[in-house]
Structure 1
């Protein structure tokens, strides 16, 4: 799910629900226009990708549906994808862009997922890829103009990970079933290649705020050599090589100037870097100071929410210092109106008002 003001938008295989977090009332914001085809979506224990909510004066809730259209007369049945935009403004009607699925989806040995990667200006980017990394080279990325409701471009063998300014970055293969891939950046408007790094193996590209992306990989000729690097999405320049004592690559931007990353091995790890230079600001655990790392649940507006065995807590994202007022909950989603948290006893989702 995703939050916009007091509304939580929940993605289901055939619809998006809008839940009023003030009273729990739910309504259907949109349904798939054609018959939903759930077998192409991730299995239930993995969940569905959250809707993406755009910024600006007239926000849109973006999602996709896999759908089936039965044959009629001589018209053959077909499976396709509905890229769907839901205006948050009251009374505004949703709109859809139907898209044919690439050939590889018909032969995929893994379930296929679609997720909106990001939006810059009036262009949205989403990607189709298998849910299992074993079949990851079969990926296709699309760019959709949100004003004209048309597809600007499609790129096969490319799994987008981030949209930063006018650049789309992600993982690019040269051929299907290749063991090697490279981080690459493409022009948002034209899909022209701007830069491409060297081929590596086991590559993962993840967003890291408005100015960086995070790439982790192994050297293709010597698997003992591992890379964990923050890159400039505009040029591919390495801004920071990460040391082994900064494990984990689950990173989120705090909405100010800090990227907060978390990982877990024998214990939890949390560390933070400057969102432009990649310079490390702090890390936990800090044995010299007698401090442990919490399990991070959310990062928002310069604050980290999380929990330890002693209960919920909040940290200053820039300094890592414990904040004096304990939040009472460890929200998984939070904004200036609402915090959404799971209860420890039965995983029930509860909404709590926030103080702005």
Structure 2
């Protein structure tokens, strides 16, 4: 039988249509719908430093504040936001991932995870995020640096092992540039309590990573510090029983112990490139070292022979020389990016000279009728803080009230963004700078 040519064509077209509609591959199910026309986002304007912020912002990923807020809507454990800002991007660190978050569009552009093993302490919504903030290097091609503790399963006759995976990502694109595996030191074997790994700082082509343990275990207060060459991607040197606190002018400064089990420690400085010891201080009990900018290190400790005697000093991190013997009691000290350091804690705020440590101003000031606000951060000559009456800003050099309330009191800020606890107290929001 002959079929009409038009009828044959119609049958073929019908079969083609049916076949297309009943494709056996699921690609179409996962395919994204045609892209809708995206709204045009006006370019962000830099304000250095921000005077005010827009009243509404974008919610930060839950990882940025997981387990760090209490029921009163304030930070627990004197927590530090595990975030660093670069332009309009926020890099959020956790023990098992690094998020690249766009604070303009509220989009997580990249999620960087460890490779070649499972994270030792994966973060869930019920856990406290113990990660330290990532570190961003300086220069024309900045890198974002973060470490992961990774466990590799045993295969064949090879036993299971753990390592620190050091990750360097391009700060502009958020893409991983390279990775470096650091074998964990011997003292970590048999330690039951969680380890922590943090990038303490970077200068030039060298970054410093510290792996630490501090808790009631057989091995206590143990640390190992590594210096990593960012150009050749190799370890330059490592130092056992040394917990780095900061990097300043070619010197790595931190807490040095004789052994992992020693209850006493000394402040010490090591050459950033060679690892040679530059200086070492006296032995203390309960030593705490806090960075206070490029020219000062805040020391709090008790005398080894008489625990009632407390030392509070500012040291020169390059030489260990004592700059001031009466440094203020402080939970945090921050360099303002100019010529002052602001320290706060125990209902007191003190501004000091960034070179000498000499006191410039302090609050409260009963004679002037001024109270001490609750400082959240300091940036480029401006102090951001809260009082019972709202947010305030101070001049970091003089302590004087600035005329315009900022609207929020950011815990982290740059020219584009301020990150602060939301008004609800339940989460964290990124607010655009407005003026």
TM bracket, shorter-chain basis: over 0.9
Give the structure 1 partner of residue 238 of structure 2: 154
**1:238 pairs with 2:317:** no
SS in 2 for 1:176: coil
Give the structure 2 partner of residue 315 of structure 1: 394
Give the structure 2 partner of residue 190 of structure 1: 274
Contact 1:65 1:81 (8 Å CA) reproduced: yes
SS in 1 for 2:301: strand
**1:334 pairs with 2:413:** yes
Give the structure 2 partner of residue 94 of structure 1: 177
Give the structure 1 partner of residue 103 of structure 2: 21
Q: Which has the higher contact order (CA 8 A, sep 6+)?
A: 2
CA-based RMSD? 2.0
Give the structure 1 partner of residue 289 of structure 2: 205
Tell me by how many angstroms 1:73 deviates: 2.5
Contact 1:83 1:98 (8 Å CA) reproduced: yes
Task: Mark the runs of 5 or more structure 1 residues left unpaired by the alignment.
Answer: none
CA distance in 2, matches of 1:26, 1:64: 19
Tell me by how many angstroms 1:208 deviates: 1.0
CA distance in 1, matches of 2:111, 2:136: 13
SS in 2 for 1:320: coil
CA distance in 1, matches of 2:98, 2:123: 15
Give the structure 1 partner of residue 363 of structure 2: 284
Contact 1:271 1:284 (8 Å CA) reproduced: yes
**1:69 pairs with 2:69:** no
Tell me by how many angstroms 1:355 deviates: 4.7
CA distance in 2, matches of 1:331, 1:7: 16
Tell me by how many angstroms 1:109 deviates: 4.5
SS in 2 for 1:144: strand
Give the structure 2 partner of residue 252 of structure 1: 334
Which residue of 186, 197, 205 corresponds with 1:114? 197
Give the structure 2 partner of residue 298 of structure 1: 377
**1:12 pairs with 2:94:** yes
Give the structure 2 partner of residue 179 of structure 1: 263
**1:127 pairs with 2:206:** no
User: Structure 1 or 2: larger strand share?
Assistant: 1
CA distance in 1, matches of 2:214, 2:136: 22
Residue deviations 1:129-187 (CA, integer Å, cap 9, x gap): 12448865311100000000000011000001111011111110112211111011111
Which residue of 222, 225, 229 corresponds with 2:313? 229
Q: What TM-score do the two structures reach when normalised by structure 2? A: 0.77
Give the structure 2 partner of residue 164 of structure 1: 248
CA distance in 2, matches of 1:269, 1:93: 42
Contact 1:129 1:136 (8 Å CA) reproduced: no
Contact 1:254 1:260 (8 Å CA) reproduced: yes
CA distance in 2, matches of 1:223, 1:93: 48
Cα 1:40–1:234 shift into 2, 3 Å: farther
Task: Mark the runs of 5 or more structure 2 residues left unpaired by the alignment.
Answer: 1-82
CA distance in 1, matches of 2:261, 2:385: 39
Tell me by how many angstroms 1:293 deviates: 0.9
CA distance in 2, matches of 1:39, 1:30: 15
CA distance in 1, matches of 2:123, 2:432: 33
Q: What TM-score do the two structures reach when normalised by structure 1? A: 0.93
Cα 1:231–1:324 shift into 2, 3 Å: same
